[in-house]
Amino acid sequence: MGKNTVFSHKGLGVVIGHDTIIGDNCKILHNVTIGGRAGIRANPIIGDNVLIGAGAILLGDIIIGNNVKIGAGSVVVKDIPNNQVVVGNPAKPIKK
């Protein structure tokens, strides 16, 4: 876990897989799940300056780029490049 990464609401309801990597200056809101998928043991790698909205789910061997914002309730199962805003289920980019 990187420097200055914070968990809002004292990390209430946050679940993080054991080999997840989280970069610097990230903010993770409540009820977020970050972990593997059935048959895929690897967990996400999260870059720097990432905001993960409340209730978001990040699953599998994926890479989340730097300066990414993930909307509340989004489900991320594919890589997200740098400087994206994604929302939905499955998460799709809405803004660079």
Catalytic residues: 30
CA distance 47 to 49: 7
CA distance 65 to 15: 20
Strands of 45-46's sheet in order across:
21-22, 45-46, 63-64
- Cβ distance 44 to 58 under 8 Å? yes
- Cβ distance 34 to 44 under 8 Å? yes
